Amino acid sequence: MAVVRLEVADGVGTIRLDRPKVNALNAELTAELRDAALEASRRADVHAVVIYGGERVFAAGADIKEMAAQGRAAMANWGTELTETFELVARIPKPVFAAVTGYALGGGLELALCADFRILADNAKVGQPEILLGVIPGAGGTQRLPRLVGPARAKELVFSGRQVGAEEALAIGLADAVVPAAEVYAEAVRRAKQYVDGPALALAAAKRAIDDGLETGLSEALRLETGLFVGLFGTEDQKNGMESFQQHGPGKAKFTGR
């Protein structure tokens, strides 16, 4: 039985983690998550994505029992596969929301950090507790977290390994919204649907410009932005958007994604 599946409805693709009891990350889940990310990226009927672990828990980190039995070589292989898989999730060229219930710890938080936006349940707990096991985050926690909340806050969280509640996560920019636990998935889907009828090529270009631009100097990033901007001219969406603006004003265009 699959532990990750892609479910599509009304333009929103839900990447559903389903490895009882706590969606612990292992080689099987990693491989299936990779397939789901690639499928969500290429499917024309998927315009936005929600990553969801179910009503009880998002993902409580790596499978420690499985990990503890591995040697350095095995961990090097799996660690590389996990990091590459998370990069594929981060590179999905569509708006991505993490709907976080219960715990998102260790690799679970690292997965949530790959999303563009994080919606947390009011009882959610997130953190990078790897230091308490004598190791450090190994799939983006020391890199994506400081880019999101700043280096000092990230160091405090990584150095201490403490768990952060939903309201604190919101206050430091780790969460984008906090809602009652029963509403997390519905709220993530509601927000994702805002982009379903948007200009898909422009949204993908905007995401790439921001994400890749943050990894370069300003001058190079500006050149990237200009190239992506110019590349959208001649698309159906650009023509429709500008014609509609001239004829009907802003916000009335019908986009095709081409």
pLDDT in tens, 1-53: 899 999 999 999 999 999 999 999 998 999 999 999 999 999 999 999 999 99
Nearest CA among 126, 116, 124, 122 for reference residue 179: 122
pLDDT, average across residues 90-112? 98
Which residues in 187-215 are b (16+ Cβ under 10 Å) and which e? bbbebbbebbebbbbbbbbbbebeeebee
pLDDT, average across residues 60-64? 78
**Quick check: 251 pLDDT over 90?**
no
User: What is the residue extent of each domain of the chain?
Assistant: 4-193, 200-248
Q: Where residue 176 falls among pLDDT bands split at 50, 70, 90?
A: very high
CATH architecture classification, 200-248? Orthogonal Bundle (1.10)
- Mean of the per-residue pLDDT values of the chain: 94
Nearest CA among 129, 124, 128, 127 for reference residue 167: 124
Which residues in 123-148 are b (16+ Cβ under 10 Å) and which e? ebbbbbbbeeeeeebbbbbbebbbee
pTM as predicted = 0.94
Active-site pick, 7, 66, 87, 130: 130
Reply yes or no on whether 7 is catalytic. no
Please report where in the chains the tokens 């707990």 appear, as a residue: 125
The reported pLDDT for the residue numbered 206 is 97
User: Hey, what are 240's tokens?
Assistant: 């429709």
Contact present, 137 and 158 (Cβ < 8 Å): yes
Active-site pick, 28, 66, 110, 156: 110
CA distance 52 to 16: 5
**Quick check: 121 pLDDT over 90?**
yes
Report the percentage of the chain scoring pLDDT > 90. Answer: 82
pLDDT, average across residues 107-113? 97
Contact present, 175 and 118 (Cβ < 8 Å): yes
The reported pLDDT for the residue numbered 62 is 75
**Quick check: 65 pLDDT over 90?**
no
CA distance 87 to 92: 9
Reply yes or no on whether 167 is catalytic. no
pLDDT, average across residues 75-97? 93
Asked if CATH classification 3.50.50.60 holds for the domain at 4-193, the reply, yes or no, is: no
For the ranges 61-75, 79-93, 185-199, 204-218, the lowest mean pLDDT is seen at 61-75
Q: Where residue 71 falls among pLDDT bands split at 50, 70, 90?
A: confident
Give the pLDDT confidence of 145-168 residue by residue, as tens digits: 999 999 999 999 999 999 999 999
The reported pLDDT for the residue numbered 52 is 98
Contact present, 85 and 37 (Cβ < 8 Å): yes
Cα angle 176-41-240, degrees, rounded to a multiple of 5: 85
Residue 113's H or E segment, with its range, is none
User: Hey, what are 15's tokens?
Assistant: 């990447």
Contact present, 103 and 57 (Cβ < 8 Å): yes
pLDDT, average across residues 86-94? 98
**Quick check: 242 pLDDT over 90?**
no
